[in-house]
Every structure is written in C-alpha cells, then in structure tokens.
Amino acid sequence: MPPSSLRVQTVAHAFTPATLLRYVEALAQSLHNARVAGLLGATVVALGDSSEKAGLSKRAQEELREALVYGGADFTYERFGRNLGHAEGHNRLFQTNDSELLLLCNDDVVAGPVAVTELIRGLLARPEVGLVEAHQLPFENPKAYDPVSGETGWCSLACALTRAELFAELGGLDAESFFVDGDDVDYSWRLRLAGYQCTYRPSARVILDQRVDGSGRLLVSPKNERSVAEADLLLSRKYGRPDHFEVRLAFYSEHGSEAQREAAEALRERKAEGRLPSPVAGADTVAFFRDGSYAVERFS
Amino acid sequence: MTKPSNPGHAGESVHGHVFRLLSAHARNEGVLLDLGCGLGAVAASCAEIGLDYLGVGAEPDGLAELAGRGFSTAVVDLGEQAALLQRLEEVLAGRSLAAIVALDLIERLTRPAELLAVLGEVARKHPGAPLVASVANVSHFDLAAKLLSGRWDVTSEGLLDERQVSHFAPGTFEHELSRAGWKQIKADDLVARHSDQHFPETLTALSAGTPLHDFLLQVREQSGPGALVDQFVRAYLPVAASQLTAARRPMTPASKGASAPFLSVIVRTQGRRLIPLEDNLTSLAAQTNRDIEVIICCHDTADSDHAAVVEVMERLPRWLVGKIRTIRVEGGGRAHPLQVGVAEASGRYVAFLDDDDLALCHWVDEFDKLVRLRPGAVVRAGCATHSIDEESWECGTGYSQIGPTTTPYPLEFDLVAHLVGNRTPNCSVAIPRSCFTDLGVSFDDELPVLEDWAVLLSASLLCGVASTPEVTSLYRRWKRGYASHLEHPEETWDLTTWSIRGRFDARPLLVPPGTVSRLTQMEMTANTVEQLNKDLDLLKDALATSTAEVADLWVEKGQLLARVEAAEQLLAVAEQRAAVAKRQVKVAERQAAVAEQHVAVAEQRVAVAEQGAAVVTQGVELAEQRAAVAEQHVAVAEQSAVVAQQSVALAEERVVFAEQRVAAVEQSVALAEERVVFAEQRVAAVEQGAALAEERVVFAEQRVAVAEQSAAVAQQSAALAEERVVFAEQRVAVAEQHAAEVTAIAEARFHEFRDAEARAKAAVAERDAALARLDEAVAQAEARVRTEFEATKSWKATVPLRVALKLVDAYRQRSG
C-alpha cells in the first residue's frame, strides 16, 4: 500500500484554543504513527473557523502549526467570518484540496494512536469502500454493522475518511439542505447510490468529548436538538418518505420539546416556500427511517 | 510537676536498650564517649563490654562526682560548636573511639544538627564507631491525646522534661540525623503503652474503652509508627564525607510538594488487554485539565506484555508521554498494585482506573473543582456503565459496546448507605494522598475483592466526601472473559462484604454532619417499615382467609363448570343427533318426494290401467248390450222359436259363447289388475336401484377427489422434475461453457506451444549456425596461432589468441 496524500479538514465553531490544541496534539501523534507505518504522504490540516467572534490569534495558530510538525503535516487556517455550518464549511475548505484522501474530523475529537492508520487501511482495503467511520468512544453509536467487513448503513462525519475524488464527484456535502446535522447521513446514502460502501472501522478508535446526564443519556443543547429534528425531516423529504415526514412533523409539533417545535415550524415555512429538497431517485434502496434512526440498531 | 508512676515500661529502662545497642555495635576496644554524661548512667556497664569510659559535659559538680567514683571525665562545652571538634580531639588524646553515647541530650540543644555534624566528623576518623542516642518522642499517643484536651504538662524529666528545647517525632528525628550525615543501623526504641505523661487517668482521651480514646488511638496508630514509643533509642554510623550533600536544610512547608501535580492517576493493568488500555490512556489524553501524572502499574506482567504496554504508552501524544511511567508489580492480589502505585505517587490527590475504565474529558477537572471547594475531602463524581464484549473483525480483534449506557450508582454520596455496601466504582473517586501517607489508609491485599470499598470507607470517614452528580467516568462490564465480577463467585463477594462491614462495625467511627438526620430518617423509615410489616401481616391473614374462600369458590366453580361441561356435551350430542335427524328427515323427505313421484307415475299408470279397464268395461257393457241384443234376438228367436227351435238352440249356444267371452273379458280385467301390482313392484325395485345408484355416485365422487389429489401431486412432481431438468440443463450449460473455455484455453496453449516449439527450433538452428561460425572462427584462430608461432617462433605473441581459445573451450563446456 503506497503512501497517500491526506487532507484533514475541521470546521470549528464553539472552540477554545485549549480544545483545539488538544485535538491537534492527538492528531499529530496519530499522523506520526501512520507515517511510521508507511501509509502517509504529504499531509495538510485545514482548519475552518466558523465562529462569529474574533479569529484565532497568530500565536495560537503558530502553536497549532508547531504541534503538527511532529505529525509531518502542514497547517492552514481560514476564517469564514460567519457560521457557515458543517456542510458548507467543509465544501469551502475542500476548494483548495489537492490530496487523494480526505479526513473530515470535528475539533472535539481526540484521535487514538492508530486511528489515522486504521482509517487509511480501511478505505484502501477494497476499491468499493467509499467512506470509513472511526470507532467513537466513550459512547458508541448503536447502529448495526457487518461484524466482518464493517459495512454499515451510514457513517458519522465526526471522524471519517473518504476518497477526495469521490467527494468531488458527489459534489461534496449538501449544504443547501443541511446546516450542521444530517449531511453525514445524506453523503453516506448518495455515496451508496453511486455504488460505494460505507464502512465502520472498529480498530480506528477516537475519543469524543461527550457528556451524559444523570441517567446516562447524551447531553445535547436545544440548538443541537433543533438541528437534529430539522435534519430528520429534511432527510425524509429528500429520501422519498413523505409519510415519515408528515408523521414526524406532527410528532414534533404536538409532543416535541420547544426546540423540536421550532424545527417543525421552520420546516412548515420551508415547505410553504417550496424550499424542501427534491426526492432522490432510487432512495428506497438506501434509505432507512425508524424513530429518528437511520439504520438498524444493535441496542437502544 | 511531679512525674507519676510509669507502669507502661516497668522493668525496662532506656539504659538497658542503650547497653544492648552498644554490645552489638560498639567497637571492641577504645573509649566510650558519653556526651552530656550527667551522673554517668552508663559508666558502670561500660566495663562489662570492655570499653574505657569518658564522660564529658559542662557541669563541674556532676563530673566531679563521677570522677570521684573512678571514671574519667572532661569538661567540654557542647554549645561551643566552633571549638568543639578540636576539644573532643584533645580529650580523646589520640585514643581509639569505640562509640559515642548521647542520652537525653539532643532535645536539650537549640541547634542539634550542628553538634551532630561535629560528632560525625569525629566518628569518621574512627571507622565503625557508632553514635547511640536516645530522644523523647513527643508524638506519643498520651501527649497527642492531652494536647487535644488542651493540656501540656511539663515535668522535671520524662517526655516533657523541662530542659527540652527541641522536640522530635519519628519523622523529624530521622530527618535531623539524616541531614547531619548519620545513617541508622539499628533501632531499639523504648515502647510504653502508658508513658510518664499518662495522667490524669480520668482524662477521657486517655481512658481506654471510651470512644474518644479508642478513636484517637486508632487515628494515631494509623498515622504512622511511634504511637506508643516513649524514647527513640537508636544506633547510627556516619555516612562517608563524599555522600554529605548540601541539602542540609531544615524541613519547611514550602519544600514539600511544591511542584507536585494535582492528581496522580494509578492505572492498574495486567497487560492482557492492550486495546482497552490504549483507549483508557487516550481518554486521559483528552482531559481538559492536564495537571496530572499517570502511573501504569503492570501487575504480574510477562516481559513481552510489559514491552507491549510500554509500546502503547510511547504512541500517546507527546505531552502525556512526559507525564506517564510504568512500574512493574510482582505478587500479591488485586490490591497490591494499587498500594504500590500510591507509594510511587507524588500528586496531592490520587485516583484509580482499571485498564478497561474510561474517563470522560472533564474527569480531572471536576475533581479539581471539588477540591477547590472542599480541600482535603475525598472527591466523588457520577459514574455511568455499560456492557462490552470481545469481537473479531476483518481488521483484527477488539471489543464493542453491547448495551445501553445507564447510571445505576447513586449520583450523590451517602456514607450510611456506603457502610452497608459499595455504591461507588473506584474510577469515580479521588482521595487525598495524605490519607495514605499521613493517616495510614491502605489497600488491604488480604481482600480478594472490594479492596476499593474498604479504602473509600476509611478515607471518607476521616476526610468527608465532596461529591457532584456530574457523570465523569465510565465503568464497563465485560460480558465474558477476565473480569473481577466474573472471576469471583457470588459467595466471595458476600463474605468479603460481611468481613468489611465487620471491620468497621468493630471500631469507633467519625461520622459527618447530617448523619443524625440521615439516621433519624432511617429510624423513621424503619418504624414505618415495621408498621407496614404489621399491616402486611394483617393483610396476609385477611388474604389467607380470602384465599381459602376463593379456593372453595374455585372448587364450587369447578364442579359447576364440570356440570356445565357435561350438559354442554349432552347438548352437543343432542344437537348432533338433531342434525343427523334433520339430515335424515331431509333424506326421507327427498325419498318421499321421489316416492310420491313414483306413486304419481304409478297412479298415472294405474289411471292408464283403469282407462284400459274402463275400455274393458265398455267392452263388457257393449257385450251386455250385445247380450241384450242377443236376448232381444232370443226373444225374437223365441218369438221365432216356433219358427225354428234349432235357431233357439243355436241362439242358446251363441249365448253360451257370449258368456264365455264375458268370462274371458273378466279374466282380462283380473290380468290387468295383476299387471298393476306387478308395475308397483317394479317401481319399488327401481327405487332401490336409484338408492344404490346414488351410493355408487358418492363412492365415484370420492374416487374422483382422490384421483384429483393424485393428479395435483403428480403435477407438482412434474414441475419439480422440470425445475430439476432446468437446473441440470443450466449446470450442463455451465459445464459446457466451462469445457469450451477450457478447450479454448487448451487450444490457445497448444498454439502457444507450437509457436514456442517453432521458436525453439529456430533458436536451435541459430545456435547451431553460431556454433558452426564459432568452430570456423576457432579453426581460423588456431591457424592464426600456428601462423603467428611459425612467424615469430614465440608463444608469447600468441597468448591473446590462446586465451581467447581457452575462453571458447570454457564456453563450450558450460553450454554443453
């Protein structure tokens, strides 16, 4: 397996220099280990700053750049000046890509020592693999996967590796429909419609800065909750499930939290304005909807 | 104040201990230098071990008395540090030094380290000469208990001798000797259960059996050695001059732990689960608070496993690698590596992770926040859990989460509940390191399990607990494989739980504020439970009565149900019979209808017969009319009888004949009636034949149904056979295709072979031609050699050609 050039893209919004440094230091180590394994060629880490506040100071940028030297990676920093969201932010960063592989990674991720190594091995193991997702800890996503090949219904883009050529061929992420959430499920399903596989790589382990409440449920902010609800409705429209759309819309309106009610209202307006995404041909061959999940789950 | 009696070490004295040390460690000959000798308490015993006694001091009266008893003495001002060394050399006067004795002297000096340093210099000139010193222990329990009671009783001698200006506890005494350049070789301390300070005896803190005394004594004994030591009696040798360091500074608060991290994280592993360990360490790399050190305790780990652990460690982010180290721990049980890890730790707090635990990113930070609020307390955060299991993938083996995340452990700490059982995973607490180093809390290696619970109880009873409901750690339970909850049977857990409860039940406990409310609540709950139990008993009685009644009712109901069932069965039979009767009636009705039809037919036939009979009757009537005519003819005849009696006779004959014909007609009528009866008999026979025909029709229908089923089965078999035929044809097609491909390949290979053969033949031909050319060239060369030789008569000139010829020969031999 010859060395591959790699672009790591991160769109950061609510961050501190300390959390960015934590992310970059762990990433540098993981890149270093992949380089030692002979898998990595030229590497660049591109950070897109989507925050509305003042950008990262020169000193902080320099600190990140220095930390990445150990991983043999160059560093670029682009300040968007406004919150572009996850999908558009990545599309914007990708405009200057000239690498073969593309790693999309959130800034609250702390990569395990062999995470990058294993993601590359997973993607290049078979030509039909188009997207590989890392094993997220401490709380795993419950979606089912083939225990041998790792094939799964969709991949989270919190930390996932794809082929840059494929990303370009598919037109990147659907920023027109999705802002922060849902773009990963959408990208996964479009990729599968194009004949590629989404796979899960259990040996590529990363830690996410996740918190849980007193009953063990993941903590989500109202903003996240609204975003997830909107994504759920948009996905059901785009992937030919108007019944699901109406049922969920009614559910969010009548029984949802305040954030979910807001999401339902926003989608109604969007519908009235004719701004809902058009259904995708062949959607029924890849799409799966069940109570807010997009794949069969191993546990709940 | 008068020194009271001292029963604690009756029969023992400091001098006896000093004598034992001198006997064992003093040099065999020379001078015993008794510093601050007073009345020379050891002078008399000096001769017993063959040493020369020399008492030195600054009090002329005492020295004079000692000299009067025949012992050597010298005046030496021990406070004159500058001239002390020279003065001691003078009094020794070149004699060999066997040992130095300093009894009850060091604590009377303002700067004892300086004297001890000078003594060290003296002793180094006489290798092997020890210093034997005795010093009062002010950390004796009696003094500690009295201080807590507000008492500090200075006496003329003893633990609080009025002449003391320096005070020593075990640690400070060791530190003082060590920084003066002395190394301990033997301790023979004087232990006294009750010291000379054990007064007044009625003081609660001194009274054994009172909770206060027992608790304070327990704290003092756990805190470190020397709780019951009256006098430190120890022998020392000076360290070599080259080992003396510049660090001869007194202990200061600032010099202790100034650069220590906040938290020492002890990670326990056996090196068998590297992937969970790597995840565990990565979760530490993800901490928002990095004020930590990490100590990986590899317990009973093989060399290869330890090397693998080190490899995992070295692949971590650089900043963490600088804060992490491994230590190898051999032997002992589960508690042993934890205790060793604590001994290695330098942090202000200590936390523990097993290699399969995970810390959430704010694990350290939440501990830190709690410590800032409650310094010195045990700190505890919430803990979540889920199940994991080993898995094998295309890319290797590892583990995976197999169940939802839950929080079964209380989010807030409750001491009373914890006295009953453990409700806190070890990964969710951090304990002040001082608990281990200063209060003697330790992991008990005798416990097979629950060693963490015993430590948590000990520490929380002494330090209190500050807790937060924030969930900061993840305790993961293996479905199978090695895990403490799987390795040890339930019985072990139960027995250990009872054992730990028993330990804490046997000692006085220091409970935190709020315990009274908690116990009150428990008492009220207990009362409520008791009342509820009584109510429950009453309800049980009522229930038993009701149950009996219900049982009777059930029996009754069963009987009724049986009767109902029997009636229902009878009804069913009756209904079946009625149904059969109805069917029979319908059959009978149908038969009656048929019979009626038959009767109608018969009647029609009878009517026909009757019509025939009527015709016959008409014939009869006609005959009668004809008979009447005949009679008329007879009358005519009679009237004509006269004319012809012969005609009468003839007429009579003709009457007879007519009567015969009537009789014949009557016979015909009778015959017609018999034919009617016969017709009816035939009708009955036809009906029987019809019934038989119906039965045959039913039988035929059954045979038809069976035949149809057989036909369906046959059709299925035929379809299956067709599928098999299709499949066989497909296989044949595949085989034929395969055969065709193989044939094509074989043909291609055959052509390739033929091509290769042709090429080989061409090559052989070329080779033969080349060899021929070579032979020709060789012949020419040989001819040239001969010509050259003939021309020059020198073989030397032909060397290049002959070398070429040899090369050609060599080539021929190689090529065959």
Residue B664 pLDDT greater than 90, yes or no:
no
- Residue in chain A closest to B468 (alpha carbons) equals A214
Residue A60 pLDDT greater than 90, yes or no:
yes
pLDDT at res. B683:
62
Q: Which of B364, B387, B376 lies closest to B470 in space, CA to CA?
A: B364
Sequence-separated (6 or more) residues with CB below 8 Å from residue B21: B130, B132, B186, B188, B233, B234, B235
pLDDT at res. B690:
64
CB B211 within 8 A of CB B508: yes
Using CA of residue B180, residue B184, residue B190, residue B192, what is the dihedral sign? positive
Residue B381 pairs with which residues in a beta bridge?
B468
**Mean pLDDT along residues B382-392:** 95
Max distance between CA atoms of chain B, in angstroms, equals 232
CB A97 within 8 A of CB A166: no
Q: Which of B366, B404, B471 lies closest to A219 in space, CA to CA?
A: B471
Give the separation between CA B799 and CA B790, rounded to whole angstroms.
14
Cα atoms in the Cβ-side hemisphere of radius 13 Å centred on B193: 5
Q: In the structure, what pLDDT confidence band is assigned to residue B359 with cuts at 50, 70 and 90? A: very high
pLDDT at res. B607:
80
pLDDT at res. B774:
81
Between these two residues, B723 and A118, which has the higher pLDDT value?
A: A118
Residue B707 pLDDT greater than 70, yes or no:
no
Is A203 near chain B, with CB under 8 Å? Answer: yes
Mutate to test the interface with A, among B291, B324, B361, B385 (most CBs of A within 10 A): B361
pLDDT at res. B354:
96
Structure-token match 């053969």, residue found: B757
Distance from CA of A165 to the nearest CA of B (A): 25
Delineate the domains of chain A, giving CATH numbers in brackets: 4-208 (3.90.550.60), 222-281 (no CATH)
Q: How do residues A218-230 score in pLDDT, each as one tens digit?
A: 999 999 999 999 9
Contacts of B391 in chain A (CB under 8 A): 147, 202
The answer to whether the Cβ–Cβ distance between A113 and B282 falls below 8 Å is yes
Structure-token match 């025909």, residue found: B693
Residue A86 pLDDT greater than 90, yes or no:
yes
The answer to whether the Cβ–Cβ distance between A113 and B315 falls below 8 Å is yes
Please count the residues of chain A: 300
Using CA of residue B410, residue B415, residue B417, residue B419, what is the dihedral sign? positive
Amino acid at B692: L
Residue B253 pLDDT greater than 60, yes or no:
no
Distance from CA of A124 to the nearest CA of B (A): 12
**Mean pLDDT along residues A5-25:** 96
Lowest-pLDDT range, A146-150, A288-292, B247-251, B609-613? Answer: B247-251
Delineate the domains of chain B, giving CATH numbers in brackets: 7-244 (3.40.50.150), 263-512 (3.90.550.10)
pLDDT at res. B3:
37
Give the separation between CA A89 and CA B333, rounded to whole angstroms.
54
Give the separation between CA B39 and CA B14, rounded to whole angstroms.
15
- Residue in chain A closest to B386 (alpha carbons) equals A139
Looking at the partner chain, which of B360, B395, B400 has a beta carbon nearest the beta carbon of A138? B360
Q: In the structure, what pLDDT confidence band is assigned to residue B734 with cuts at 50, 70 and 90? A: confident
At residue B444, the 3 state secondary structure works out as coil
**Mean pLDDT along residues B513-538:** 92
Residue A48 pLDDT greater than 80, yes or no:
yes
**Mean pLDDT along residues A263-280:** 93
Is A285 near chain B, with CB under 8 Å? Answer: no
Is A22 near chain B, with CB under 8 Å? Answer: yes
Cα atoms in the Cβ-side hemisphere of radius 13 Å centred on B596: 6
Residue B531 pLDDT greater than 60, yes or no:
yes
Interface of B with A (CB under 8 A): 275, 278-279, 282-283, 285-286, 288, 312, 315-319, 358, 360-362, 382, 384, 386, 391-396, 398, 400-407, 411, 469, 471, 474
**Mean pLDDT along residues B70-98:** 89
The answer to whether the Cβ–Cβ distance between A299 and B469 falls below 8 Å is no
Looking at the partner chain, which of B386, B398, B471 has a beta carbon nearest the beta carbon of A202? B398
Give the separation between CA A51 and CA B45, rounded to whole angstroms.
88
Dihedral-angle region of residue B271 (phi above 0 means left; psi in -120 to 50 means alpha; beta otherwise): left
Contacts of B286 in chain A (CB under 8 A): 22, 26, 110, 207, 209
Residue B292 pLDDT greater than 70, yes or no:
yes
Give the separation between CA B123 and CA B111, rounded to whole angstroms.
19
The answer to whether the Cβ–Cβ distance between B401 and A212 falls below 8 Å is no
Distance from CA of A107 to the nearest CA of B (A): 12
Residue B251 pLDDT greater than 60, yes or no:
no
Contacts of A122 in chain B (CB under 8 A): 395
**Mean pLDDT along residues B620-643:** 70
Backbone angles phi, psi at A79, to 5 degrees: -95, 120
* CA B704 to chain CA centroid, nearest Å: 69
Q: What percent of chain A has pLDDT over 90?
A: 91
Give CA separation, B269 vs B180, B300, B355, B443, B449, in Å: 42, 9, 5, 16, 16
Between these two residues, B393 and B702, which has the higher pLDDT value?
A: B393
Between these two residues, B569 and B296, which has the higher pLDDT value?
A: B296
Lowest-pLDDT range, A40-49, B241-250, B527-536? Answer: B241-250
Give the pair of three-digit tokens for residue B605. 């036939």
The answer to whether the Cβ–Cβ distance between B317 and A140 falls below 8 Å is no
Q: How do residues B607-630 score in pLDDT, each as one tens digit?
A: 887 787 777 678 767 867 876 776
Q: How many Cβ contacts (< 8 angstroms) between chains A and B?
A: 122
The answer to whether the Cβ–Cβ distance between A22 and B286 falls below 8 Å is yes
pLDDT at res. B7:
38
